[in-house]
C-alpha cells in the first residue's frame, strides 16, 4: 500500500474536523444571540461540531455506497441489543477490576462525604448508565462506525485502527474553561473559546492519560475489525467504561499522592499507565482468542 494513501487517510479526519470547528466557531456568536443566551458558546462549539461532522460522514458514506451494515450495525434490533448487553458486561468487568486495584492501592479513596451527597443510589446509577449509553453510542458511531467504515475503503484495518484511535483521543483534551460574560460576546468569541480549548489541550495533555485513551481506542478498533457487524459490542464496552468512571468519581476522591500515584494520569485520576497496560493485555488476549482458526481447534 502506498504511503501516500496512508497519509491521506490519516490527514483527512483532521481536515474535516478543522473545517467543522472553524465553521461552527464563525457561527457561534449569531447562534448564541438567536438562542437568547440559552446556549453557551462552548455548548454550540461542541454540539455543533459533532452534528456537522456526523452530517459530513453520513453524506460521505452514502457517496461511497456504505450501508448501515458496513458501518457495523447487525441485521436486527434484537442482535444489536444483545451485542450492547454483552459489551456492557465486558466493559464493566474490565474497568471495574481496574478501579478495584487502584482503590486497593489507595490511588482512589472512598469518601463518605461524597457518598452522602447521593441519597438515592438507584437514581444515580440510572443517570450514569443513561449518560454512559448516550456517550458510548455517539462516540462509537462516530469513530468505530462511520469513520472506520469510510477509511476501510482506502487503507488496511491496521491503519484504520491506528488513525481512529488517535482521533478518538483528541476531543477528550479540548476543553475550554473560559467564561465570557454576555457583554463580552462578539463575532470572534467563538474563535477565542476554540483557541482557549486548544491551548488547554496542549498545555495540560498528560502522556499517561493520552496513552491510556489510545490503548482504549485500539481495543475498541480491534473489536470492530474482528466483528464485521459488531458495533454494538463497541458501544456496550465503551458505555461500561464510562459508567464505572462516573460511579467511581461519585464515591471516591483522588488520593494518588502516595507511592503508586504515577500509575494514573491527571486527566481524571483513574486512567493512566496502569489502565493502559491492563487494556493492552486485554487487547492481546482478544486478538489471540479471535485469531483465524481459533474456533476450529
pLDDT digits (tens, 9 = 90+) for 259-275: 888 999 989 999 999 99
Query: Which range (19-23, 107-111, 144-148, 254-258) has the least confidence?
Result: 254-258
- Of 293 and 99, the one with more pLDDT: 99
Domain segments of the chain as ranges: 3-289
Average pLDDT over residues 206-211: 94
Q: For residue 42, what pLDDT is reported?
A: 86
Q: What is the pLDDT of residue 164?
A: 97
* pLDDT for 159: 96
Please report the DSSP string for the chain in residue order. --HHHHHHHHHHHHHHHHHHHHHHHHHHHHHHHHTTTSS-HHHHHHHHHHHHHHHHHHHHHHHTT--HHHHT--SSHHHHHHHHHHHHHHHHHHHHHHHHHHHHTTSEEE-HHHHHT---HHHHHHHHHHHHHHHHHHHHIIIIIIIHHHHTTTS-HHHHHHHHHHHHHHHHH--------GGG--TTHHHHHHHHHHHHHHHH--HHHHHHHHHHHHHHHHHHHHSTT-HHHHHHHHHHHHHHHHHHHHHEEE-TTSTTGGGS-TTTSS-SHHHHHHHHHHHHHHHHHTSTTTTT-
User: For residue 282, what pLDDT band results from cuts at 50, 70 and 90?
Assistant: very high
Stretch 223-229: mean pLDDT: 93
- Is the pLDDT score of 297 beyond 50? no
pLDDT in tens, 233-262: 999 999 999 999 999 999 998 876 678 889
What integer is the mean pLDDT of 47-53? 93
pLDDT attached to residue 255: 74
**pLDDT tens sequence across 192-204:** 999 989 888 888 7
Percentage of the chain with pLDDT > 70?
A: 97
Q: What pLDDT band is residue 1 in, cutting at 50, 70 and 90?
A: low
- Give 103 or 181, the one with higher predicted confidence: 103
Residue 295 scores a pLDDT above 60: no
Amino acid at each position: 500500500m502506498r504511503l501516500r494513501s496512508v497519509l491521506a487517510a490519516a490527514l483527512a479526519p483532521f481536515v474535516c474536523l478543522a473545517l467543522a470547528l472553524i465553521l461552527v466557531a464563525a457561527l457561534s456568536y449569531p447562534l448564541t444571540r438567536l438562542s437568547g443566551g440559552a446556549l453557551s458558546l462552548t455548548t454550540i462549539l461542541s454540539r455543533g461540531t459533532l452534528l456537522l461532522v456526523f452530517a459530513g460522514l453520513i453524506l460521505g458514506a452514502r457517496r461511497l455506497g456504505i450501508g448501515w451494515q458496513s458501518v457495523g450495525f447487525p441485521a436486527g434490533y434484537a442482535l444489536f441489543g444483545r451485542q450492547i448487553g454483552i459489551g456492557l458486561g465486558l466493559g464493566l468487568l474490565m474497568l471495574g477490576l481496574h478501579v478495584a486495584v487502584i482503590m486497593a492501592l489507595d490511588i482512589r479513596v472512598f469518601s463518605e462525604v461524597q457518598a452522602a451527597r447521593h441519597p438515592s443510589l438507584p437514581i444515580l446509577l440510572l443517570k450514569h448508565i443513561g449518560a454512559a449509553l448516550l456517550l458510548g453510542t455517539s462516540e462509537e458511531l462516530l469513530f468505530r462506525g462511520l469513520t472506520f467504515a469510510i477509511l476501510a475503503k482506502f487503507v488496511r484495518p491496521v491503519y484504520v485502527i491506528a488513525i481512529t484511535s488517535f482521533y478518538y483521543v483528541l476531543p477528550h483534551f479540548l476543553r475550554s474553561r473560559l467564561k465570557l460574560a454576555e457583554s463580552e460576546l462578539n463575532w470572534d468569541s467563538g474563535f477565542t473559546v476554540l483557541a482557549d480549548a486548544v491551548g488547554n489541550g496542549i498545555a495540560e495533555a498528560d502522556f499517561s492519560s493520552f496513552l491510556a485513551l489510545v490503548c482504549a481506542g485500539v481495543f475498541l478498533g480491534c473489536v470492530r475489525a474482528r466483528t464485521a457487524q459488531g458495533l454494538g459490542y463497541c458501544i456496550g464496552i465503551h458505555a461500561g467504561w464510562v459508567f464505572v468512571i462516573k460511579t467511581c468519581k461519585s464515591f471516591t476522591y483522588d488520593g494518588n499522592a502516595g507511592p503508586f500515584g504515577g500509575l494514573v494520569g491527571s486527566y481524571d485520576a483513574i486512567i493512566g499507565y496502569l489502565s493502559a497496560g491492563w487494556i493492552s493485555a486485554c487487547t492481546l488476549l482478544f486478538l489471540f482468542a479471535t485469531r483465524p482458526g481459533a474456533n476450529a481447534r
